[in-house]
């Protein structure tokens, strides 16, 4: 297949009715979080350590959780950058190493008071505590002190689900597997990391929603819609980077490979799914029942953060150099992404 010259990023802003608002003290809080992770990540590869300051995940947190206190935002920033680090570490690992990483992180969350080496598939965990464990024990010990028991349970479950998806993604990357669209959507909702990041909304706002609210079919549907918008739009913005390294865990790649669409038609199809997700979210929210004044106010605050995720993730994609590089501000104006000098690698790095 010939290399495409480039593509236009669909203008999703035209379909997002929610403003992108940055936390008033975001930069100061993000700076503290960046210092935190750099001071604790002593064992990761030099290349990954150099990338951490340019990740700017804290700025994403400041866009999405713009209504919480500085103290709670700090924990959200620490949590978010740790999830990003897990994803980047999995890019460097083989499937077996990713399984070890998953168990180490889950052990740290289940017992944050001390490091306890375990065994994964017959392989002993390192005697010296890995950075992933240190980070997880640190943020979780602080977060659980301010989170209700059901919120804690949901966060732990969400992190585990995310790590399982990361493991599957690493395996797909190794084998070159490209799933069917429906399977990809199901997996992407887990690998996006949105589910645990939505579960910490309650922590960030210092309340615990009743179980009948969290498990209400319309709330579950709304969370899936926001997840789809965030994950699918991220696949649009990250395509250039993933294309260059042959990583096909991307909905645009699924459209091109499975449905034989050209590159621009693939982007337009993914954008259409984002627009549909936005429409479905708004319809579900309009139909959501009342649970009384106090809980309704909490639901509205919760939905505000999810809406901030939809607008904030768009804004952040042009702030971080992670996906669009040094020309991201120019691309924001023109929406054109040039691939003429892009070198395509296969999924196994060839």
Domain spans in the chain, listed from the N-terminal domain onward: 11-326
Looking at the DSSP assignment, which residues form a beta bridge with residue 337?
A: 7
d(CA 207, CA 140): 17
What is the pLDDT, as a whole number, of residue 123?
A: 87
Q: How many secondary structure helices (H) and strands (E) does the chain include? A: 16, 4
User: Which residues are within 8 A (CB) of 199 and not within 5 positions of it... i.e. 6 or more apart?
Assistant: 151, 154, 155, 157, 158
**Fold annotation for 11-326:** Farnesyl Diphosphate Synthase (1.10.600)
What is the pLDDT, as a whole number, of residue 263?
A: 95
What is the pLDDT, as a whole number, of residue 46?
A: 82
Provide the whole-model pTM. Answer: 0.93
User: Which residues are within 8 A (CB) of 71 and not within 5 positions of it... i.e. 6 or more apart?
Assistant: none
Contact 331, 236 (CB under 8 A): no
Neighbours of 145 (CB within 10 A): 8
What is the pLDDT, as a whole number, of residue 122?
A: 86
What is the pLDDT, as a whole number, of residue 93?
A: 59
Regions of the chain with pLDDT less than 70: 1-3, 90-95, 342-350
Could you tell me the two tokens for 194?
């949105």
Burial (0-12, 13-18, 19+ Cβ within 10 Å), 32:
middle
d(CA 123, CA 80): 28
What is the pLDDT, as a whole number, of residue 345?
A: 46
What is the pLDDT, as a whole number, of residue 2?
A: 57
User: pLDDT tens digit string along 251-298?
Assistant: 999 999 999 999 999 999 999 999 999 999 999 999 999 999 999 999
Could you tell me the two tokens for 161?
């689900």
What letter would DSSP give residue 325?
A: G
What is the pLDDT, as a whole number, of residue 346?
A: 41
Burial 323-350 (b: 16+ CB within 10 A, else e): bbeeebeebeeeeebebeebeeeebeee
User: Which residues are within 8 A (CB) of 135 and not within 5 positions of it... i.e. 6 or more apart?
Assistant: 37, 40, 41, 78, 82, 85
φ/ψ (deg, to 5) at 177:
-70, 130
């Amino acid at each position: 297949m010939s290399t495409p010259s480039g593509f236009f990023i669909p203008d999703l802003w035209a379909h997002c009715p929610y403003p992108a608002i940055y936390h008033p003290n975001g930069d100061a809080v993000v700076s503290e979080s960046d210092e935190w992770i750099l001071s604790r990540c002593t064992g990761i590869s030099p290349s990954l350590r150099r990338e951490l300051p340019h990740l700017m995940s804290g700025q994403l947190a400041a866009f999405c959780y713009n209504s919480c206190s500085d103290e709670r935002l700090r924990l959200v920033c620490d949590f978010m950058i740790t999830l990003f680090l897990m994803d980047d570490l999995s890019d460097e690992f083989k499937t077996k190493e990713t399984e070890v990483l998953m168990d180490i992180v889950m052990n740290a969350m289940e017992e944050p008071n001390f490091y306890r080496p375990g065994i994964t598939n017959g392989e002993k965990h390192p005697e010296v505590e890995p950075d992933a464990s240190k980070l997880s024990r640190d943020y979780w010990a602080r977060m659980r002190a301010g989170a209700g028991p059901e919120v804690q349970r949901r966060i732990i479950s969400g992190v585990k689900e995310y790590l399982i998806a990361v493991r599957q993604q690493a395996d797909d990357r190794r084998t070159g597997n490209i799933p069917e669209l429906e399977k990809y959507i199901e997996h992407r909702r887990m690998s996006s990391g949105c589910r645990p990041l939505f579960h910490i909304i309650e922590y960030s706002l210092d309340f615990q929603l009743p179980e009948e609210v969290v498990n209400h079919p319309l709330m579950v549907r709304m969370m899936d819609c926001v997840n789809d918008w965030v994950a699918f739009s991220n696949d649009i913005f990250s395509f250039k980077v993933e294309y260059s390294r042959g990583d096909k865990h991307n909905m645009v790649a699924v459209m091109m490979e499975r449905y034989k669409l050209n590159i621009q038609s693939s982007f337009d199809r993914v954008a259409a799914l984002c627009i549909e997700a936005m429409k479905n979210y708004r319809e579900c929210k309009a139909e959501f029942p009342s649970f009384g004044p106090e809980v309704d106010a909490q639901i509205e605050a919760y939905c505000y953060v999810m809406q901030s995720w939809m607008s904030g993730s768009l804004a952040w994609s042009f702030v971080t150099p992670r996906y669009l590089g040094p020309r991201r501000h120019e691309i924001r104006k023109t929406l054109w992404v040039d691939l003429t000098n892009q070198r395509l690698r296969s999924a196994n790095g060839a």
